[in-house]
Amino acid sequence: MEEIRYEKDMYEPVRDYLSGLGFSVRSEVNKCDIVAKREDYVVIVEMKRHLSFDLLEQAIERQAYADAVYACIPKPTEFTEDKKWRSKLKVLRRLGLGLLLLSKTDALFMVEEALAPEQTGGAPRTSARKRKALTGEFDNRALDLNTGGCHAVPLVTAYREAALYLVYLLDFSGPLLPKEIKKLGGHPKKTTPILNANYYKWFSKMPDGRYCLTDSGHEAMMMYAPLIEVFRGRALTTPDN
């Protein structure tokens, strides 16, 4: 069994594990490492390299708006179910938290449910506002473009994803009117507000009402190149002249 050194290396195996259980999975949603959703059932997973107070504090806070919360850590290379380990499980059980252990052998990752979280049976959570914000952000992302556990990379929120898609469309077709951008697949309601707000300074409005990319917009194409490739897989139609 090999040592797992970075949190970012933990995301894909955990994502695949949850996907295999029938969940849709997104990373870095409203500061949560991993959010998984199946119908109206919401699971949050917080990842750290060690079982620490900070991890427990984060996980407990998430219980206010999730149906189940897991802490996830790499499985210790010298793992033994000794008294110390059983005491840790007792604490997690008292807190109502689940525990996932991740191990790696060569290129193979394995996720184990060491402890199931408290099952609420649909009981209402204490923060309906945070749950609504979490599920809203989750549902408004068409793609999972983040890697859980990454802290130095700009996160792709639902808003940024929509803006990046407009960048891609303008790079693909050249200057366009908002109605032409929508015909190419821009969001029917968000396109015009995003262009007008120009939060990231990626767009410039021309005298004839068309929009084109700024230098920052072209830089965004390069900065988010792997994500732009995802957009290229989508079918496009040429706007009517």
Q: Where are the domains of the chain?
A: 7-137, 158-232
**The total number of residues written for the chain in this structure:** 241
Q: Write down the pTM of the prediction.
A: 0.62
**Which among 109, 39, 94, 34 is positioned nearest to 69, based on CA atoms?**
34
CATH 3.30.43 for the 7-137 domain, yes or no: no
Q: What is the DSSP letter of 143?
A: S
| Residue range 158-232 in CATH 3.40.1800.10 | no
Q: What is the pLDDT of residue 144?
A: 59
What are the two backbone dihedrals, phi and then psi, of residue 97, each rounded to the nearest 5 degrees? Answer: -100, 150
Number of H helices and E strands in the chain, helices first, is 9, 8
Q: Whole-angstrom distance between the N-terminal and C-terminal Cα of the chain?
A: 61
pLDDT of residue 121: 46
pLDDT of residue 142: 60
Q: Which residues contact 3 (CB under 8 A, 6 or more apart)?
A: 74, 77
pLDDT in tens, the chain (241 residues): 677 776 778 888 998 999 899 999 888 888 899 999 999 899 999 999 889 999 999 999 999 999 999 999 998 887 888 899 999 999 999 999 999 999 888 778 889 999 999 765 444 456 888 998 888 888 776 655 555 554 444 566 778 888 999 999 999 999 999 999 999 988 888 899 999 999 999 999 999 999 999 999 999 888 888 778 878 876 555 444 4
Question: What is the per-residue burial (b if ≥16 Cβ within 10 Å, else e) of 161-192?
Answer: bbbbbbbbbbbeeeebebebbbbbbbbeebbb
How much is the pLDDT for 109?
86
